[in-house]
Amino acid sequence: MVYLNGKFLPLDEARVPVLDRGFIFGDGVYELIPVYSRVPFRLVEHLARLERSLGETGIRNPHSRTQWRDLLYRLIDEQPFEDQGVYLHVTRGVAKRDHAFPKNVEPTVFMMSNPLVNPPREQVEQGGIAVSAQDYRWLRCDIKSLSLIGNCMLRELAAQAGAAETILFRDGKLTEASASNVFVVKDGVIAAPPKSNLILPGITYDVVVELARANGLPIELREVSEAEVRAADEIWVTSSSKEVFPIVALDGRKVGDGRPGAVFQRMYALYQDFKQKIMRAGKREAVSA
Ligand SMILES: Cc1ncc(COP(=O)(O)O)c(C=O)c1O
């Protein structure tokens, strides 16, 4: 079952008109909310980021937080699987083709839930490889936009190299990866670029920063140069689906000793523990209207 504009229906019955601006211009925003044991992870933060993406793009938010939450819970409950990745898409709506925003159109709302597949433990123990590329995307990477052609082209470079991710540099500095944020570790100190218009403010990024601070792991949010990334002892990528994942080779060169590092092991354990606590509590968060 998926949700489209007020109705729950089977995926193959869901249809949008070809003049939907999501199709014509990629004119929309989205969220991916991970759900563990039917409990959405960091729901309030995901809804806040959605509101921000809608606000920044001038797309009307068709629902209050409680309405979003109710739709999400209903969709989650319709699925036969426990751990889910719920996609929530909002486009500016259907209108005659014209770049300028149409007046009085209803936003299109589409939600679907897939089984959530986090990297299995063996893969985490082994780590993954990454390639790098110049970050040629636009200057509003802080908006979780549906226009992902740049991210898709950059991710394809990784796919062609049999790698997990493409790590991106702009003007000699680390930004993020094609679909994840990036952290590095040198001499026990974690570093990541601060939030700006050049990176997506990752919900997982926030969790990692919080866990580091709460557990006394030194962490710096500051510009990270390309040279620092290439000389790092550890590189991690973070996202709702990858969680915290170690990169053990970049552009064919080993990161550290070519195995997931000690600081990674600690952060991975903290992250899993944090997740387990939420799952054990089994509580669905309250959201304010
Ligand atoms: C470009 C980009 N950066 C970072 C992230 C990580 O964000 P989150 O941790 O909220 O999943 C994503 C997630 O899809 C992404 O597409």
Higher-confidence residue: 280 or 98?
98
Structure tokens at 211: 């866990």
- Mean predicted confidence (pLDDT) in 184-198: 98
Q: Is the CB of 43 under 6 A from ligand 1?
A: no
DSSP H/E element including 226: helix 226-230
- Mean predicted confidence (pLDDT) in 189-218: 98
Q: How far apart are CA 203 and CA 49, in angstroms?
A: 9
Q: pLDDT category, 284, cuts 50, 70, 90?
A: confident
Task: Provide φ and ψ at 137, rounded to 5°.
Answer: -70, 180
Amino acid letter for position 222: R
Q: Is the CB of 175 under 6 A from ligand 1?
A: no
Residue 280 has pLDDT above 80, yes or no: no
Look at residue 268 in the predicted model and tell me its pLDDT.
98
Residues 6 or more apart whose Cβ sits within 8 Å of residue 144: 29, 30, 31, 49, 50, 53, 200
DSSP H/E element including 259: none
Q: Which atom of ligand 1 is nearest to the CA of 207?
A: 9
- Mean predicted confidence (pLDDT) in 256-275: 97
Look at residue 203 in the predicted model and tell me its pLDDT.
98
Indicate the Cα dihedral angle 51, 174, 180, 275, nearest 10°: -90
- Mean predicted confidence (pLDDT) in 89-102: 98
CA of 200 to the centre of ligand 1 (A): 6
CA of 23 to the centre of ligand 1 (A): 22
- Mean predicted confidence (pLDDT) in 121-130: 97
Residue 114 has pLDDT above 90, yes or no: yes
Look at residue 279 in the predicted model and tell me its pLDDT.
75
Residues with catalytic roles: 144
Q: Is the CB of 239 under 6 A from ligand 1?
A: yes
- Mean predicted confidence (pLDDT) in 25-35: 98
Site to substitute for ligand 1 among 240, 243, 271, most atoms within 8 A of C-beta: 240
